[in-house]
Amino acid sequence: MELKVILEATIEGSVSRVEELTGKALAEGIAPAEILSKALIPAMDEVGRLFERQEYFLPELIAAANAMQSGLKMLRPLLGQGDQKAAGRVIVGTVEGDLHSMGKNLVMTMLEGAGFEVVDLGVDISPAEFVAAVRQHQPQVVGMSSLLTTTMAALRTTIDALKEAGLRGQIKVVVGGAPVSQKYADLIGADGYAPDAGSAVRKVRELLEQ
């Protein structure tokens, strides 16, 4: 089987087709890591580009993410048996006082699709909880989301807490959310800003290559 068909089905957002084709590929003896690296990851890279060019919109992005997750769900137990190495570890969470999860979940899905190990902290995460998660999981990157103007200050408070805990120098911090801007990210000392899920993946890659 040509892995291009899985890539195309993922871009089209067809969950059933991705499941069917992934099953066939595995049955044919194609390595799970190869399916991931040559079909699912390139597919989500392309979806991210289409979204940034406004050729894809939120419904198409969500459909493609769901299709990718359906394939990844089949591959994940098998990937654990091999030597597939994650591109990096990222923890993500919505800051204290904010209960929005959709943007965070999309970022998480796109990162997983790009081969990153992602730890989802959830929503309404306090600075102390971010600090504890960094100590426990030892990520390379921390992603924080704020969807409300009233919770934007928690981004700064969390970065300050990471500094006070002596952890800030060990990690890169990426922030995002509707009211957040590059200017605000610079103001609070974040390493990067991502306006959407597709650019979040690119920004994380850029920071890890520095």
When comparing pLDDT for 76 and 23, which is higher?
23
Q: Which of 47, 75, 74 is nearest to 63 (CA)?
A: 47
Residue 79 has pLDDT above 80, yes or no: no
Q: What is the CATH number of the domain that holds 133?
A: 3.40.50.280
Q: How many domains does the chain have?
A: 2
The reply to whether 109 and 176 lie within a common domain is: yes
Residue 1 has pLDDT above 80, yes or no: no
What pLDDT score does 86 carry? 72
Q: Answer whether residue 72 is part of any domain.
A: yes
Could you list the residue range(s) of the whole structural domain that residue 134 is in?
Answer: 89-209
CA–CA distances in Å: residue 35 to residues 6, 13, 139, 205: 8, 17, 25, 21
Q: Model-level pTM?
A: 0.81
Q: What is the dihedral of CA 3, 105, 119, 191, to 10 degrees?
A: 100
Report the 3 state secondary structure along 27-67: HCCCCHHHHHHHHHHHHHHHHHHHHHCCCCCHHHHHHHHHH
Among 23, 52, 79, which residue terminates a domain?
79
Which run of H or E residues covers position 22? helix 15-27
The reply to whether 52 and 134 lie within a common domain is: no
Paired with 93 in beta bridges are 122, 144
User: Confidence band (pLDDT; 50, 70, 90) for 68?
Assistant: very high
Residue 83 has pLDDT above 80, yes or no: no
The reply to whether 144 and 169 lie within a common domain is: yes
